[in-house]
Amino acid sequence: MASEQKQGRSPELRKDWVTNRWVIFSPARAKRPSDFKYKSPATTTSTTTADQIQDGCPFCLGHEHLCAPEIFRVPTSSDPDWKIRVIQNLYPALDRTLNDPIAVAPNPNLNGVEVLGGFGFHDVVIETPFHSLQLSDLSSQEISEVFKNHGASAGASLSHSHSQIIGLPIVPPNVSARVDSMKQYFNEMGKCSVCEIQVKELLIDESTHFISIVPFAATFPFEIWIIPRDHSSHFHQLDEAEAVDLGGLLKLMLRKMASQLNNPPFNFMIHTSPLRVTDPQLPYIHWFLQIIPQLTVVAGFEMATGCYINPVFPEDAAKVLREVPNPE
């Protein structure tokens, strides 16, 4: 295959104009792209309801009393046959009971230090009532219900499929860097950096409203972005048809990834516009969904420099994923 013929390629440094990050591509540090597999054996999904309720798991159907307070569920009210539940995190990083964020008096011995009270929201989206089901096992409509209602951002401390939403009183530095980088590209080129992504060799698949690609300067091996075809700054403005379409393409990407990479653990993040953006910012902020399979370990070099080493060229990863037969 073409990716096997390119093993003699020299290393490259590529700049991502969306994140303003440099990535080193060094194929000599890895096997062929088609050989990437998660080391643990793939798990199988149980098909019986009885096997899908695990003792002691607070997220399973019937164990609602083990959870932190519920915010809402789908269907609504107290329907015991719920599909999705949103609850408060039992161990929240921030405190929703505090007053609106105000500056805390700084330590007089620490000049220039800024401190805010730890106000914020930390909630959990339980994506399915059954323990052994994963996001990719749900239908496109069921995945769209997770998106349409919640805009979840992935993270995992329990094996039951769930996501986390954290509301911060500040704009995090990675988000600021992304917005500033998009602004810089727009000022120089007069166009949105995401709309201008060239997808010819990077395309994995596409749907009515979205495309899936391996980004040109992918930070991680087999990283995937799902991007709205039409310019859109706010994820929460998805309509029902777009949400179902996104759910279908995400399901396909997760299944391709599981098939090719031996069902690795993964994170997915929705990179959307900060809440309080002004109208002049909207032309250059374009939301997208990022999927990162956990295949490599972030080492000291990456931590020290913010510059990552990826052993798989994006166009090779895209070709491998593109050629994985679409799972039924």
Query: One of 122, 150, 162, 209 is an active-site residue; which one?
Result: 162
CA dist 103 and 118 (Å) reads 10
Q: What residues are paired with 116 via a beta bridge?
A: 103
Strands 84-88 and 70-74, sheet pairing = antiparallel
Torsion over CA: 213, 218, 219, 223 (sign): positive
Spell out the alpha helix ranges (H) of the chain. 2-5, 140-150, 173-189, 240-261, 300-305, 314-323
Task: Give the residue ranges of the annotated binding site for Zn(2+).
Answer: 57, 60, 131, 160
**Among 240, 247, 61, 57, which residue's Cα sits nearest to residue 142?**
247
DSSP output for 115-156: -B--B-EEEEEE--SSTT--GGGS-HHHHHHHHHHH--EE--
Cis peptide bond N-terminal to 129, omega within 30: no
Question: Residues 22, 177: contact at Cβ < 8 Å?
Answer: no
Q: What residues are paired with 103 via a beta bridge?
A: 116
What token pair was written down for 277?
């953006």
Question: Residues 55, 48: contact at Cβ < 8 Å?
Answer: no
Torsion over CA: 318, 199, 191, 276 (sign): negative
**Among 307, 303, 322, which residue's Cα sits nearest to residue 12?**
307
What token pair was written down for 86?
């949103």
Residues 6+ apart with CB under 8 A from 178: 18, 19, 20, 271
Q: Is 65 a catalytic residue?
A: no
Task: Give the residue ranges of the annotated binding site.
Answer: 57, 60, 131, 160
Catalytic residues, by residue number, are 162
